[in-house]
Amino acid sequence: MKISYLWLKEFVEFDFDARTLAEKLTLAGFEVEDVVEKRLDYPGVVVGKVLKREKHPNADKLTVCTVTVGEAEPLTIICGAPNVAEGQVVPVARIGTRLPIGLTIEKAKIRGVSSEGMICSRRELGLEDDSQGIWVLPEGLPPGEALAKALRFETDYVIDLSVTPNRPDALSHIGIAREVAAIAGKRLQLPEPRFPETSESASGSVAVEILCPESCPRYAARLIRSVKIGASPDWMVRRLEAVGMRSINNIVDITNYVMMETGHPLHAFDYDLLEGGKIIVRESEDGELFITLDEKKRELRRGTVLICDAARPVAIGGIMGGLNSEVHPKTANILLESAYFQPESIRKSVRYLGINSEASQRFERGADPNGVIYAQSRAVQLMAELAGGEVCRGVVDNYPRAIHPVEIDLKAEQINKLLGTALTAEEMEALLAGIELTVRSGKVVVPTFRPDVQRTADIAEEVARRYSYDKIPVSEKTAIPYQTVFNPFDDYLDELKNILTGMGLQEVVTNSMINCRVWEKLTGQPIYPILNPINPEMDGMRNSLIPSLMGVLQWNLNRQTGDLAIFEINKIFYHPGDITRQPREQYHLALALAGLREGSAWYSDRQLFDFYDIKGFIQGLAGKISLDNLGFIAYDNFAVESQAARILAGEEEIGYFGKARSDLQKHFDIETPVYVAELDLQKIYHLTRAEKKYREIPKFPAVGRDLAVVIDRATAAEDLISAIEKEGGKYLRRAFVFDVYSGKQIDPEKKSLAFRLIFQANEKTLTENEVNEAIDNILRALEKTFGARLRS
């Protein structure tokens, strides 16, 4: 909402300058976004008259103008605007003038011709953000006179406020003035509309019938005869411009002016275009067609308020007038509507119609049913004064069930308890009185222009607002409950991030929205779709983090960051098969590796990340979080293939990892091999919740033995280890692979696996014999089961 500082001053005498006012309004809950100065009293900006206009000899688009500024010698001014013409009165900025757009006028040669000033546009004078051509002034202004003086242009400030949706009353100058009056401790002074009425009674020519009093509780009509449609006076045009409205003609301007002043939207019909001298307010039927004054054909749904004459609809009530009854240059008689429409009815209609008019904005937030007559009278007064209208006697006011002010008990104690203040009821009363919330026998009477005030909490806000939020004392201590529902899962996610970053993985945070079509094809699974996506790239909720990580790899690889080890912990969404149901949301962890393991540093082995790197990250993490009994089974899915495995923890499948699929690599245009992993964190969390228990360490020394065997290439190390553990006897503590070899001296169909075996007893030092016996048993078993042979 744009508010003119000068306009505001008509209703309240306050002393703040525009900046101070802006600050005070912000602190009262009307956040000021901008304050724009509108002035014309720049030294050197004067009225000029174009005496002669000639083509510039050296430039097609320029003209050379001879302009008098009231002195003996006229000025030669080069002008680039196409609309400049002889005889025009124009604003001229003389040499040395500094314009608000930051330009200082200097004597200059433009393509060989000297220019002694500038003919200005409204933009160059800071009045508009954008304007077409130079500003042509009214004729008869004396050349040479200062422009501001000649136009009687008073410096104004336009204050751009963001009005919250609960305050329809503040969408007007009077509404804001009421707040300013309270802040400044001054009285609000409202214009008192007075106008002569003719002997003709309005009710003789106009009848108003309301068929839907629920959605239109009040409709008041006035008849004004013999208006002369014409231009509005300058002061009105200027005010409308200040608040961002274009002048149309005096009648339409008056309705807009009064709306900006009082907050109540009005509509003027050409009375002679209404059939039967009748207004019927009814709700629309499904499929009714109506052409609004923006010349658009609208198909209505059932339940929209229509203003009709005896034969047809003439306006969509509270939203937009109709083309068929619009005021036009020949209009003589006006039917002036001032009505109150029920906010929800308007909201429903604007939502499907897609119309957001100044009127509908106010009605849908809640206009004042008891402000109908005041606003109408104000407009009638202006129509009489400015358009020569003759006002028929009386208002045809249909208001079947009056809407009365709400009364709320003033519960001072409860308000203090909510705010943490210690105000007396009298102090509260005084604060409330400033904004016309009067207290009568212990009850706050809430005027109907404040539909937002409904219960004690609302009264508390008004008290606090008037008292100032800053004055509410800050508490010094609080009681904290001992029993609190803490959330170990969230801590666990934080801990995982600590571990993973400690392992050298970089965290990324990516978009959860992905392209359904592409991802359904790539994953072979349904993607949970978004009904009204921003664009097709974001029309579904991801069912895996892998696509997002591939995207991050791609972004960085394209920017020459080649060696990447990244992870993300975030939610994924499983389509429940039915979009009326919420998806299953699961926290996943995903890893991705690409490029050189040690980068290109001097010590790097220049090895690309491989399968054992991604597996190592998983095992390292598992070790750190005590996730035991991991098992790996060859696997492939939409993300991984060939060198890939499913991860089991005991019986439970907790994720997968491996080499990214080639079609995935291709989709992201990544050539270097990528290794990825994805784990279900909810499952892992439940598997690792057990408290840690201490195990005593053995007191007697351990004996280590190495055993290298040659076996078939395809034999899995894990199978041999199982056999070793089985046959190793009770003193075998641990067995692991410490070397894998194939090559020289080994049959190409075979490989050598070297195991380190650790033997230990809790109660004694082991003898050589005891260990040898175990090794013999192991070897026999390996020979028998796997055809293994001791490598010499």
Partner 1 sequence: MKEQIEKVKAQLLQEADAINDAKSAEDFRVRYLGKKGQVTELFRGLGQVEPQHRPEIGKLLNELRTLAEQAIEEKKSRYAAVRREDQIDLTLPGRTPRIGRKHPVTLVREEIKTIFERLGFAVADGPEVETDYYNFEALNIPKTHPARDMQDTLYISEELVLRTHTSPVQIRTMLKQKPPVRIIAPGRVYRRDTPDASHSPFFHQVEGLCVDENVTMGDLKAVLSVFAQQLFHKKDLRARFRPSFFPFTEPSAEMDIWWESSKGGRWMELLGCGMVHPNVLEGVGIDPEKYSGWAFGMGIDRIALNKYGISDIRTLFDNDMRVLAQF
Q: Which two tokens stand for residue 213?
A: 């009093």
Q: Using an 8 Å Cβ cutoff, are 282 and 306 in contact?
A: yes
Nearer to partner 1, 479 or 697 (CB): 479
CB-nearer residue toward partner 1: 73 or 476: 476
Q: Which is nearer to partner 1, 215 or 381 (CB)?
A: 215
> Closest separation between CB of residue 349 and partner 1, Å?
10
CB 748 to partner 1: min, Å: 36
Q: Which CB sits closer to partner 1, 126 or 583?
A: 583
Nearer to partner 1, 21 or 721 (CB): 21
The CB-of-306 to partner 1 minimum distance in angstroms stands at: 19
- DSSP states of 381-405 as a string? HHHHHHH--EEEES-EEE-SSPPPP
CA–CA distance, 98 with 507 (Å, rounded to integer): 54
Smaller CB distance to partner 1: residue 475 or 769? 475
Question: Residue 508's closest CA among 590, 594, 390?
Answer: 590
Cβ of residue 407: shortest distance to partner 1, in angstroms? 18
* CB 342, CB 401: distance < 8 Å: no
Closest distance of CB 509 from partner 1, Å:
5
Smallest CA-to-CA distance from 236 within 212, 218, 252, 217 is with 252
Is the CB of 513 or the CB of 645 nearer to partner 1? 513
Q: Is 54 helix (H, G, I), strand (E, B) or coil?
A: strand
Q: Which is nearer to partner 1, 83 or 511 (CB)?
A: 511
131 φ/ψ angles, rounded to the nearest 5 degrees:
-150, 155
Quick one: tokens of 116? 């002694």
Shortest separation between residue 473's beta carbon and partner 1, angstroms: 5
**In this structure, are residues 280 and 260 in contact, taking their beta carbons and an 8 Å threshold?**
no
Compare residues 126 and 595 and give the one whose CB is closer to partner 1.
595
CB of 791 to partner 1, least distance (A): 33
792/780 Cα distance (integer angstroms):
16
d(CA 135, CA 430): 50
Would you list the DSSP string of 516-527?
HHHHHHHHSS--
Min dist. Cβ of residue 115 to partner 1 (A) = 36
Bridge partner list, 289: 299
Closer Cβ to partner 1, 474 or 697, answer by number: 474
Residue 32, CB-side half-sphere exposure with 13 Å CA sphere: 21
Shortest CB 562 distance to partner 1, Å: 10
CB of 424 or CB of 629, closer to partner 1 = 424
With tokens 């509509």, the residue in question is 267
Residue 253 CB contacts under 8 Å (≥ 6 apart), including other chains: 232, 236, 237, 240, 247
Asked if residues 282 and 327 have their Cβ atoms less than 8 Å apart, the reply is no
Nearer of residues 456 and 637 to partner 1, judged by Cβ = 456
Q: Could you tell me if 675 and 657 are in contact, meaning their C-beta atoms sit under 8 angstroms apart?
A: yes
Considering only CA atoms, which of 535, 530, 561, 548 is closest in space to residue 676? 548
- Residue 251, burial from CB neighbour count under 10 angstroms (0-12, 13-18, 19+): buried
According to DSSP, the residues that pair with 197 across neighbouring strands are: 391
List the one residue out of 89, 93, 109 whose CA is nearest residue 101.
93
CA distance 240 to 237: 5
- The nearest distance, CB 405 to partner 1, in angstroms, is 19
Minimum gap (Å) between residue 499 Cβ and partner 1:
10
Between 637 and 672, name the residue whose CB sits nearer to partner 1: 672
Q: Provide the minimum distance between the beta carbon of 542 and partner 1 in the complex, in angstroms, as a whole number.
A: 11
Are the CB atoms for 221 and 52 separated by under 8 Å? no
Closest contact distance (angstroms) between CB of 34 and partner 1 is 14
Smallest separation (angstroms) from partner 1 to the CB of 30: 8
- Residue 229 or 566: the one with the smaller Cβ distance to partner 1 is 566
Tell me the C-alpha to C-alpha distance, in Å, between residue 527 and each of 120, 246, 319, 545, 636.
59, 49, 41, 13, 20
Q: Annotate 700-730 with DSSP letters as a single string.
A: SPPEEEEEEEEEETT--HHHHHHHHHHHS-T
